[in-house]
Amino acid sequence: MLQLFTPLDLIALACFVAAWTGYAIMVEWTPHGESSLNARMDDYREVWIRRALARDMRMVDTQIMASLQNGTAFFASTSLIAIGGALTILRSTDEVLSVAATLPLGIQAARGLWEAKSIGLVVVFAYAFFKFSWSYRLFAYVAIMLGALPLAEHKDTPEAEAHVLRTARLLDSAGRHFNRGQRAFFFALGYLGWFVGPIVFMLTTALVLVTMWRRQFVSDAFSAVTTEIEPPP
C-alpha cells in the first residue's frame, strides 16, 4: 500500500492527521480549549437544565431537545449519503479518472492511488456517521433525563442537584460527539484537496484548520457569548 504513495503524499497525509488530532486535543483537552466557543456552550447547557428544573411547564425544553435531535439526525443521514457518494467514486474509478483528466486542473492519478484516496474518504465519513448516530442516541437519553427532572418545588433538594449535574454531563457528551462529527465533515473538505495533489491537500487542510480555529476563538459567535454587555438603564 505504501508503494502507491509518493513521499510528498505521505507527508501531506501525516499533516492532515496531525492537524485533525492536534486540533481535537487543543479544543477538548487543554486549558486553552476551556475558553473556546464549545466550552462556553457547555456552561450554558448546565444553565439551561437548572432553568428547566425551576419551571413547572417544560414544553419549551422538550421542543429544544426535539430540535437538537432533528439536527443530529439530519447530519447522520447526510453522512450515509456522503459514504454512498464516496463508494460510487470508488466503484467508478475509470470513469471518474477520465473526467478528472479533462478538467482545467488536469488531475492525473494512478488507479490504485485514486482508490486508496477514495477509501480514506469513506473512512472519514464513516467516522462522522458513528459520531452523529451516537450523539443522536445521547440526545435521546438526555430527553429521558429531562423528563425525569424532579418537580419544581423540589429544586433545592440534593436529589435535584445530582440529577441536574448528571443531565448536564450527558448533554455535554452528546454535544461533544456532535462536534466531533462536524469536525470530520470540515476535515473531509480539506481531504478533497488530496485528489488534486499533495500540495493542494496540505493547503486545504491548513485552510480548514484556520477556519475552525477562528470560529472557536475569534468569530462573531464567540464574541456574542463572551462580551460583557451592560444592561440598559
> pLDDT higher for 176 or 108?
176
In this model, does residue 101 exceed pLDDT 70? Answer: no
Residue 115 has pLDDT above 90, yes or no: no
Q: What is the mean pLDDT of residues 138-151?
A: 93
Q: Kindly tell me the number of DSSP H helices and DSSP E strands found in the chain.
A: 8, 0
Nearest to 93 by CA among 80, 79, 107: 107
State the number of CA atoms in the 13 A half-sphere of 210 facing the CB: 6
Q: What is the pLDDT of residues 27-56, one digit of tens each?
A: 999 998 889 999 999 999 999 999 999 988
pLDDT band at 11 (very low <50, low <70, confident <90, very high): very high
**Model confidence at 21: pLDDT above 80:** yes
Going 62 to 67 to 71 to 77, the CA torsion angle's sign is positive
Is residue 179 within 8 Å of 135, Cβ to Cβ?
A: no
User: What pTM did the predictor assign?
Assistant: 0.89
**CA-CA distance, 172 to 144, in Å (whole number)?**
15
C-alpha 174/C-alpha 141 separation (Å) is 9
Confidence of residue 231 (pLDDT cuts 50, 70, 90): low
The angle formed by the CA atoms of residues 44, 48 and 53, to the nearest 5 degrees, is: 150
pLDDT value, residue 45: 93
Mean pLDDT taken over the chain: 88
Mean pLDDT throughout 102-129? Answer: 79
Q: What is the C-alpha to C-alpha distance for residues 85 and 200, in angstroms, rounded to an integer? A: 22
